[in-house]
Structure 1
Amino acid sequence: MTPDFAAFRLQFTAFLRKFEEANSAFVNGDVSLWMPLVSRSEVSSIFGGFGGREVGWSQVGPRYEWASAQFAPSGAAVQFEYLDQHVSADSAYTVAIERCTVRYVERPGEHRHELRVTMVFRVEDGDWKMVHRHADPLAAPPTPQLLG
C-alpha cells in the first residue's frame, strides 16, 4: 500500500465513522448530521428504503429530510455489517447491511429496521460526499419450494 493510498483510506474511514453517526441520528428523526455528508450535485441520487427514486440535489435533499422525519427519537443505533468496500483517490463504494430497532412517527411500538444498502461516494472540494444511496428492506430469501 503506497503512503498516498493509505492516507486516502484513512480519510475515507474517518468519513465513514461520521456517516455511521449521522445514520444513527437519521433513524432518530435528526437529519442535521446527514445532510452535510451528501453531494449537492445534480447527479446525486437516492433509491431509498421507503421506495421511489430521486435524482439531483433539488429532489434528493427534500427526500432525505422527509425520510428522516418518518422516524421518532428512540435512541436507535444502527449496526453496520460491511460486506464489501472499495476506496480510490477520489471515489469509493460500500455494500452493507444496516440493522437497528426504530420507532416510526405514525406507527406505535418498536420496529426492526434492516436494509440492504449500496452507496457510492466521491471527493468534492476535498471532502468525501455520498453521491448515491440504494437501500431496500432486507427480506428472507425464498425457500427452494417457492422457487420451483
Structure 2
Amino acid sequence: MRPRLPPTNSREASTGSWGGDSPTSLPARPRSHASSPCSRAGEQRSREPVSVLGAWRNATGQEEIDELFAYLAASFSDCTSSTMDLVAFDVVGDMAYTAALEHTSVSVDGRPRTYTLRATQVYRREDGQWRVAHRHGDTLIDGDAQPPSDESRPPS
C-alpha cells in the first residue's frame, strides 16, 4: 500500500497536524522537531538517535537538536509562506523517507528572505506516530536541477 501524499498547503505543512498511526498519513513535517521556521515549537521528541544536517547548522543527539532549534527560533520570524513540493517518498515497515523542495518566505535576523531548501527526512514509527530520525536540508541555488515534470517522467 502506497502512502497518500501529505498535504502541501501552508497551514497543514507548517503544523504537521496530519501525522497519524498509519503510513498512509506519513507527515512531511515531523511532529518530533520543527523542520521549518514556520513550524510550531514544543512538539514531542523522537527517541535517539536523531540528527540534522542543515542548511544553517548541523546537530546530532537531542541536546544539540534542542540547541539548534532554539537558535533557529531566535533567528527566524514573520513567516509569510511555507509550502513544499514532494518529490519522492516510500514506507517500508516502521521506516520511511520523504524528499521535497521546501519553499519559505520569512524574516531572518529581521531581514525578509525567500528561499527553497532541498530536504530529505527519514522517519521512524514510534508508539504509533511517525517521528523524524534524520533530516538533511540544503539551499537550492539558481541553476540547480529541478524535479522532472510529470510530462518528462518515463511511463511506469
2:41 maps to 31
1:140 maps to 142
Seen in structure 2, the aligned counterparts of structure 1 residues 29 and 117 have a Cα distance that, compared at 3 Å, is closer
What residue ranges of structure 2 are gaps of 5+ in the alignment? Answer: 5-20, 145-156
- Structure holding more helix per residue: 1
Q: May I ask how many residue pairs the two structures share in their alignment?
A: 126
TM-score by length of 1: 0.71
Deviation, 1:114, is 1.1
What residue ranges of structure 1 are gaps of 5+ in the alignment? Answer: 143-148
Q: Does 1:101 align with 2:105?
A: yes
Tell which structure's C-alpha radius of gyration is larger: 1
Distance 2:71 2:60 in 1: 15
Deviation, 1:79, is 1.0
Aligned-CA RMSD value: 2.8
Q: Deviations over 1:73-101 (max 9, x none)?
A: 24x23111111001122011011100021
Q: What percentage of aligned pairs have identical amino acids?
A: 25
Deviation, 1:141, is 3.2
Distance 2:65 2:92 in 1: 25
Asked if the contact 2:30–2:130 (Cα under 8 Å) also holds between the matched residues in 1, the reply is no
Asked if the contact 1:46–1:134 (Cα under 8 Å) also holds between the matched residues in 2, the reply is yes
Distance 2:98 2:66 in 1: 21
- 1:1-148 alignment, distance < 5 Å: 1=1, 8-12=22-26, 15-16=27-28, 23=35, 26-28=36-38, 30-32=40-42, 35-36=43-44, 38-41=45-48, 43-51=49-57, 53-74=58-79, 76-104=80-108, 106-108=109-111, 110-141=112-143
Distance 1:30 1:67 in 2: 12
Distance 1:119 1:78 in 2: 17
